[in-house]
Amino acid sequence: MPVRHFLTLLDLTAAELDGLIARAIELKGRLRQGRDGGLMRNRTLGMVFEKSSTRTRVSFEAGMAQLGGHALFLSPRDTQLGRGEPIEDTARVLSRMVDLVMIRTFEHEKLERFAAFSTVPVINGLTDRFHPCQLLADMQTYVEHRGAIRGATVAWIGDGNNMCHSYINAARQFDFRLRIACPEGYDPEPDIVAAAGDRVEILRDPLAAAEGAQLVVTDVWASMGQEEEQRLRAEAFAPYQVNTRVMAAADPEALFMHCLPAHRGEEVSAEVLEGPQSVVWDEAENRLHAQKALMEFLLLQ
Ligand code: CP
Ligand code: NVA
């Protein structure tokens, strides 16, 4: 059987994704009962980080430890990747030594090149274009709090970035309606939007996007690698803060999510982030459970 990768949410079928979320919830329960088992005994995960991370690193590393396996943290600063060894060579070497690779990098194409040369499954731990692992955690969190997301309306308020692109793919795979509110010039990539058909709509008014939504989501205005645009972006995005006005436009039962790290007073007010509709801490925790289910799916299916 050819090796399966997880570079975007489209690499799994909708049924496989549903199964994975159910398994993540099950693994969470098993961990709470101390019945995690040794599913990954003698398995090694290589983790290549070309950008900073707290949640992704800790969730993969702790998850692997809980399942009886091992995770290796590899950064360009202290591997030959940082000294120009081609990604294709690194892929062939790593996949002869480890069972699974996770990569966080800049260009999505670099991840695709790695995967093309890897003989073991490759997981996207975030690229400039997509962040699919975060969506597994977000979908798990929604299911735990509200049940199936099929048919719901989700409002994405902010940048048309990697997280927004993954929400667009999630709208296709989990079958929900997505309203995106972003300032002109910061739209998601048109090919990704077009592929989602009429499930996705782009608006300029955050209140109109949030109206009646069951889930409101945002993310930082300047992603990793865009630090020098911070000031310009803060101006463009100022009307797009998720605050109590925006949440009041949504369904009274709406949840608020943010992949974190968050900037209080910028893309989200402290009141909303710390408020009763916010499920960001569950969302962060679920990175652990969802990725354990993902690793199990890719290695042991
Ligand atoms: N949400 C997320 O991916 O967080 P980190 O950058 O801390 O991994
Ligand atoms: N859009 C953000 C997500 C961080 C988890 C970034 O790429 O920096």
Tell me which of 23, 43, 55, 104 is the catalytic residue: 104
Question: pTM surpassing 0.95?
Answer: yes
CA distance 234 to 151: 33
The pLDDT value recorded for residue 2 is: 85
Convert the pLDDT of each residue in 49-68 to its tens digit. 999 999 999 999 999 999 99
Whether residues 273 and 142 fall in one domain? yes
Convert the pLDDT of each residue in 234-277 to its tens digit. 999 999 999 999 999 999 999 999 999 999 999 999 999 999 99
133 CB less than 6 Å from ligand 2?
no
Q: What is the mean pLDDT of residues 93-113?
A: 98
Whether residues 145 and 266 fall in one domain? yes
To test ligand 1's pocket by mutation, which of 260, 263, 282 has the most ligand atoms within 8 angstroms of CB? 260
In this structure, what token pair is assigned to residue 14? 């909708």
Q: Tell me the longest C-alpha to C-alpha distance in the chain.
A: 53
pLDDT of residue 37 exceeding 80: no
The pLDDT value recorded for residue 1 is: 75
- Residue 269 forms part of a structural domain: yes
Whether residues 86 and 153 fall in one domain? no
Whether residues 97 and 126 fall in one domain? yes
To test ligand 2's pocket by mutation, which of 103, 124, 219, 258 has the most ligand atoms within 8 angstroms of CB? 219
119 CB less than 6 Å from ligand 1?
no
CA distance 41 to 260: 31
Convert the pLDDT of each residue in 161-170 to its tens digit. 999 999 999 9
Q: What is the CATH number of the domain that holds 228?
A: 3.40.50.1370
- Residue 205 forms part of a structural domain: yes
Whether residues 185 and 62 fall in one domain? no
The pLDDT value recorded for residue 107 is: 98
Burial class (CB in 10 A: 0-12, 13-18, 19+), 84: exposed
Whether residues 215 and 94 fall in one domain? no
Q: How confident is the model at residue 34 (pLDDT cuts 50, 70, 90)?
A: confident
224 CB less than 6 Å from ligand 1?
no
CA distance 118 to 129: 20
Whether residues 261 and 152 fall in one domain? yes
55 CB less than 6 Å from ligand 1?
yes
Convert the pLDDT of each residue in 174-183 to its tens digit. 999 999 999 9
The answer to whether 287 is a known catalytic residue is yes
Domain that holds residue 289: 9-131+284-300
How many domains would you assign to the chain?
2
Closest atom, ligand 2, to C-alpha of 55: 5
Ligand 1 mean position, distance from CA 167 (Å): 16
Whether residues 153 and 262 fall in one domain? yes
Whether residues 35 and 121 fall in one domain? yes
- Residue 4 forms part of a structural domain: no
259 CB less than 6 Å from ligand 2?
yes
CA distance 89 to 91: 5
Whether residues 199 and 109 fall in one domain? no
Whether residues 26 and 156 fall in one domain? no
The pLDDT value recorded for residue 36 is: 76
Whether residues 111 and 167 fall in one domain? no
The pLDDT value recorded for residue 228 is: 97
